[in-house]
Amino acid sequence: MRPAEDRFHEECGVCAVVGHPDAANLVYLGLYALQHRGQESAGIATWDGHRVHSHRAMGYVADIFDRKTLDRLPGEVAIGHVRYSTAGDSALTNAQPLVVNTQHGPLAVAHNGNLVNALSLRHALEGEGAIFQSTSDTEVILHLAARFRADSVEEALLAALAAVKGAYSLVVLARERVLAARDPLGFRPLLLGRLGEAWVVASESCAFDLLGAELVREVAPGEVLRLDRAGVRQIRPAASPPYAHCVFEHVYFARPDSRVFGEDVGIVRQRLGERLALEQPADADVVVGVPDSGIPAALGYSRFSGLPFVLGLVRNHYVGRTFIEPKQSIRHFGVKVKLNPVRALVSGKRVVLVDDSIVRGTTSRKIVTMLKQAGAREVHLRISSPPTIGPCFYGIDTPERRELIASSATVEVIRQFVGADSLGYLSEAGMLACLETPAENFCTACFSGRYPLLETESETLAKTQR
C-alpha cells in the first residue's frame, strides 16, 4: 500500500522511435524528458530484425539505463515507458513495456491511461483460461489482441481496442513496426514527430525537443497509426468530437515547455493565473508560487494584479525516492525537506501564495505555516483550479473521494484548516475560459463530478462512492 501523499501523481509516459539505428538511445532520452510523468519504473523494448530485446526496472530512467544496458537493446525500432501506477501494484511485474509472444508474433506494449472495464474483461478472460502475469490493466489489451483470430496484428489490435473502455494512449511494438493508438475521447495526449527519416511518438512534445525532432501533429482521438520504414499510415480514423481531454494536463501534469491538446502548457498556466487574479484578488504585497508547478500561474497572477512576483520559496530538486526520513525524535521536518522559504523576500509582507491544487490540505497547511514562521504578515492562498472533489479513473493516481478535503469541506473550513488568511479557487468556467479548445472537449470530472465513462461501468461507479 502506497503511503498517503498530499499531491496528485503523474500517470505514465510513452515514447517510440521507428527507423533510426540508435532507436533505444533516442527512446532513453525521450523517457528522460518524460520522467515527470512517472518515477516508479521504466523500460525499453526493441526489435533488431530477428527478436525483441527488453529491459525494465524499478526507479528513475537515468538509474536504470547505462551504456552497457542500452548496447544490449539493438535495433531500429524501440518503444519505452515511464510509470507511476494507477492500475496495478507498484512492482516490477507491472513495469512496462509488457512483452509477450502471440500467434501474431512478439508484441510489446506501453500504455498511458486507465481502462474502466479492465476488471470485468480480466475476469472474463480468466474464465476462458487466460493466465495473467501482472495486475496491470494494460495486460488486458495484450490478452485480447493475442486471442482474436485475425489476419494481422493491426486487425487484432483494432479488435482488442474495440472491447476496452477508458483512457489509452499507447504504443505497440510488432516486429519492424510500431502501432500508436489513442482512445476516442482523447483523455491523454499523444504526439507524432519526425527526426530526419525516423518517426517518433511521445506523450509530450518536450521529448521531441530533447531529441531534436520536429513536432508533426497530435495522434488524433480515436486514431490508430502504423509507423514503419515506409512511413506513417492510418489504420483507424479519428473519432468525432466531443472529446474528453484531461484538463489537469494543463493545470499540473504536463511539463510547462510541452504542447498538448493543441496548446502550449506554460502559456495556459499563465492565463490560469491571470484569470485567478481577476476572480480572486487579494490585498497583498507580493506573489509567491509553489515550485515548480505553481510558478507559471503565479507569474500570471502577478502580471494581472500588478503585484511583484518574488521567489519566496525554493525547492530542493535533489530529493529522490531513496530519501531516508529522520527518526521520530527529529520532529517537524515535514515539507521543509523539499521547500524552504526565502525569509528576506517574505518577512513582513502580505503574501499571495499560488498553487495548482489542494488535495488533502496537509501540504498547503505546512507551506502556509512555513511562510508565517519566516515572518510573512499574511498569507492569502490562491489555487489555479477549482476545488478537487472526486478521484480520477482515466490514468491519474488520485486519492479516494473521502481523502479529498474539498469533497466534504467548504472553502471556509479548508481555509481554517490550512491556516491561510484567505483562500480562493479559480472557477471551473474561468479555468475553461483560459483554453482555446472548446470547453465541451475537456474532462473536468475531478472538479465537477461529471464522469464521461461511468454510465454503464458499475465497478467504476462503486469506486466513486469510496
- Could you tell me the three cell numbers for 139? 495486460
Say how far apart CA 377 and CA 346 lie, in whole Å. Answer: 8
For residue 355, say whether it is annotated as part of any ligand binding site: yes
In the chain, CATH 3.40.50.2020 sits at 265-316+336-440
Three-class DSSP category at 434 = coil
Closest alpha carbon to 321 in 69, 66, 42:
42
Q: List b or e across 92-114, with b for residues whose CB sees 16 or more CB atoms inside 10 angstroms.
A: eebbbbbbeebebebbbbbbbbb
In the chain, CATH 3.60.20.10 sits at 12-240
For residue 356, say whether it is annotated as part of any ligand binding site: yes
Residue type, 183: D
- The pLDDT of residue 94 is 83
Q: Which CATH fold would you assign to the domain 265-316+336-440?
A: Rossmann fold (3.40.50)
Helix (H) or strand (E) holding 223: none
Closest alpha carbon to 96 in 64, 55, 61:
55
Q: What is the mean pLDDT of residues 77-89?
A: 78
Three-class DSSP category at 364 = helix
Q: How far is CA 333 from the centre of its chain?
A: 28
- For residue 140, give Cα distances in angstroms to 42, 105, 121, 127: 20, 17, 7, 13
Q: Is 12 a catalytic residue?
A: yes
Q: What are phi and psi of 8, to 5 degrees?
A: -75, 150
Closest alpha carbon to 449 in 416, 408, 414:
408
For residue 283, say whether it is annotated as part of any ligand binding site: no
Query: To the nearest whole number, what is the mean pLDDT of the chain?
Result: 90
- Confidence check: pLDDT of 131 > 60: yes
For residue 443, say whether it is annotated as part of any ligand binding site: yes
For residue 392, say whether it is annotated as part of any ligand binding site: yes
- Report the predicted TM-score, pTM, of the whole model to 2 decimal places: 0.90
Say how far apart CA 75 and CA 80 lie, in whole Å. Answer: 13
- The pLDDT of residue 360 is 93
The per-residue pLDDT for range 294-308, each reduced to its tens digit, is: 999 999 999 999 999
- The pLDDT of residue 319 is 62
CATH architecture of 12-240: 4-Layer Sandwich (3.60)
Q: Report the length, in residues, of the chain.
A: 466
The per-residue pLDDT for range 224-246, each reduced to its tens digit, is: 999 999 999 999 999 999 999 99
Instruction: Say if residues 453 and 165 touch (Cβ distance below 8 Å).
Output: yes
Say how far apart CA 273 and CA 305 lie, in whole Å. Answer: 10
Degrees, nearest 5: CA angle 378-290-401: 95
The per-residue pLDDT for range 164-195, each reduced to its tens digit, is: 999 999 999 999 999 999 999 999 999 999 99
pLDDT category at 461 given cuts 50, 70, 90 is very low
- Asked whether the CA dihedral 88, 90, 95, 96 is positive or negative, the reply is positive
